[in-house]
Structure formats: structure tokens, C-alpha cells
Structure 1
Amino acid sequence: MLLDVDGVLNPLRRVHRGYRRHRATPQGVTFKLWLDIAHGRLLRRLITETGAELVWASYWCENANEWIGPRIGLPHLPHVPIPDRPPDSGLSLGAWKARQVSVWAGHRPFVWFEDEPDVIDCLMSEQGIGEHLLVAVDPLVGLTEEHVDRARDWLTGLGGTGDGATGAG
């Protein structure tokens, strides 16, 4: 399971009282974050129920383990290495991230909680990518129980019919 930070765990606005304001200063740059400890509980339960591995898929990379995970109760997680996007790449930030995710995941099946709208088309154009479900998250609202339920349903059905479906939603 791939997990983005900004727009997913850190929505653009405080959605309800469970969110708390935090400051993070990775590499000397200060960010203001809205984080909800309930996300950690939801994601840990999803890991337990499905046996899936949780991985950061965010421009925060390893910094998410210091600044995000402990604040919502997640353990140290592996991360998709996402290097800075070269200015001459011709790709948007979402497309660049999707390319890095597809290289990292290869043929392995995955669920990705992501808010960038252009990653759907980018994933569809990647060759040799495994079965996947992109769970599109509204960046104003962030991750919800419905998103987690969708991921659980897909992951538990992965060994069942195996119809190879991919999608977003």
C-alpha cells in the first residue's frame, strides 16, 4: 500500500476536530501540517487485516518517518525513492511521481492513496506495471474511512477472481 502525505494525510484544510496543527522542518524548510492520529489507527488496522506492507509514496520520502509517522502513530516505513524532478523532464510533479512509483513497484500489485489528479493517466501509460488500485483522495478532505474500506476490499479480493482490473476512485 502506497501512501502520499500532502493532500492525503495532510489535507489542505482542517476537516474536523481530530486534526491537530504541527510544524515540520525537514532540511531547514518549515511546513505547517494538519494531521489526525486516527489515520494511524486506520492504516495499522488495514495492515493487520490484509497483511499488506505500507510504504511512503511521497516527496517527503524518508523525512515522512521523522515528521509524519510518529505524529499519527505509524512505525518506521520504507519509502519509494522519488528524486527531485529535473526541470527539463517535461513531466508534471504528479507524472514524475507516478513514473518513480511504477519503476519501484514493477509487477507487484499495489494500492496507492494519492491526491494528484494526473497520476491516473500516467500509471495507465506505464509499461509492465502490476495490478493496482489508485484510491483518489480529495486534497481538501484527505484520507477517509471510505478510502481505507475500498483498499481493504480490493486487497482482500486480490487473490480471488484475479480479473486484472485497475482503476481509480
Structure 2
Amino acid sequence: MTGRDASHTERPLLFLDVDGPLLPFGQDPQRAPRGTTPDARLAQLTFEVGRRLATLPCELIWATTWEEEANAEIAPRIGLPRLPVVSWPEPTDHHEREDQWFGLCWKTRTLVNWAGGHPFAWVDDEITDADKEWVAAHHSGRALLHHVESYRGLTDEDFTALDQWLRAL
């Protein structure tokens, strides 16, 4: 079973995390500390980020612990419409142990199931090589797992890489 239904387009999916990619946090070892209050982080959001996301040739989907709050708090601040949201299931002991053993991000299995074999890109600060290997072995469609440094957020280079990958499908 997937999170997709008949109303979804057949465009590739882009699973988008909030904390890290859109709201950078933590310290860049090369720079001075930045404000980390919630208001300071939300103030970093711009319509330019939303415009750039909206021009990517894909269906944007929130893949964040913010869940529906991403539509209430993030989407309006960056000029995006309400987006579909991945709901996270309660972890099972079996899958949790297996995922820890493989070194997987807790989101990986759910996103692959949600995509249901359709091409997808995933932007997150928690992606590792283990996630990339697991997706390659368990997802029948094309996938781009794009790691973003949590302290940096999405950059011009990230948008270029995503756009090129999505347009090459």
C-alpha cells in the first residue's frame, strides 16, 4: 500500500524534509554561531526557496516530523500551496531493530512504500549511504537520495542537482 491515490500526477515525487534542508540548524564548523530560536529559524524562509521548489518538475510532498504543521507554518511562508504529507507509522520492534542494524534513517522504509515504485527524489539531512543501498535494493523505480548538511540547508548546487536529475527522467 502506498500514500498515493488516483488524484496524484505521474510526475516524479520529491520528498522534502523541513529541519535541515529548509530550516538549517546546528553549527557550521567553519563559521560563527547563528541564531537557533524557532523565530530566527523561521525567519530564514523566503519566497525564493518556495519559487525554486515549485519550478522543479515533480510533485512536492512533505516528509518531515512537522507533518501537517508544514502546511500551516512552512508552506505559506515560502509561497507554496498545501502539499501532500507523509504520515509516519508507529515503528515495529522488528523493523526498528532491522533498520538500526542496517544503519537506515527511520524514514527510509516508509518513503519507499509511499512511492510505490514511482521515481522519487528525497531531500534530507539524515540520509546515509546505507539508505541509498537499501533503496537501490528495495525500490523498483529510480530514486535520488540527496543529503543536505543540516547547518547549511538547500543551496544553489542542491537545486541544480535536483532539477537535472528530475528532468533527466
TM-score between both structures, scaled by the size of structure 2 = 0.72
Question: Partner letter of residue 114 of structure 2?
Answer: W
Relative contact order higher in (CA < 8 Å, ≥ 6 apart): 2
Aligned partner of 2:20 in structure 1 is 7
Asked whether 1:101 is paired with 2:111, we answer yes
Matched ranges for 1:80-91 at <5 A: 80-85=86-91, 89-90=96-97, 91=99
- Among 22, 45, 53, which residue is 1:36 paired with? 45
CA distance in 2, matches of 1:14, 1:36: 18
Aligned partner of 1:72 in structure 2 is 78
Q: 3-state SS of the aligned residue for 1:75?
A: coil
How much has 1:117 moved relative to structure 2?
3.5
Number of residue-to-residue matches in the alignment: 144
Question: Partner letter of residue 63 of structure 1?
Answer: E
Matched ranges for 1:15-164 at <5 A: 23=38, 33=42, 35-37=44-46, 38-46=48-56, 50=57, 52-85=58-91, 89-90=96-97, 91=99, 95-118=105-128, 120-126=129-135, 127-158=138-169
Q: Which runs of 5+ in 2 are unaligned?
A: 1-13, 29-34
Deviation string for 1:112-132 (max 9, x for gaps)? 1111043x4134224234211
Question: Partner letter of residue 70 of structure 1?
Answer: P
Indicate the RMSD between aligned Cα atoms, in angstroms.
3.0
CA distance in 2, matches of 1:65, 1:99: 23
> Does the aligned pair in 2 maintain the 1:111–1:135 contact within 8 Å?
yes
Deviation string for 1:43-81 (max 9, x for gaps)? 1222xxx2x111111121222101111111111000122
| Identity across the alignment (%) | 37
TM-score between both structures, scaled by the size of structure 1 = 0.72
CA distance in 1, matches of 2:165, 2:123: 13
How much has 1:14 moved relative to structure 2?
9.2
CA distance in 2, matches of 1:125, 1:83: 19
Question: Partner letter of residue 2 of structure 1?
Answer: F
Q: As a proportion of its length, which structure holds more strand?
A: 1
> Does the aligned pair in 1 maintain the 2:16–2:64 contact within 8 Å?
yes
Quickly say closer, same or farther: Cα 1:22–1:54, change in 2 above 3 A: farther
Q: Which runs of 5+ in 1 are unaligned?
A: 25-30, 159-169
CA distance in 2, matches of 1:94, 1:79: 21
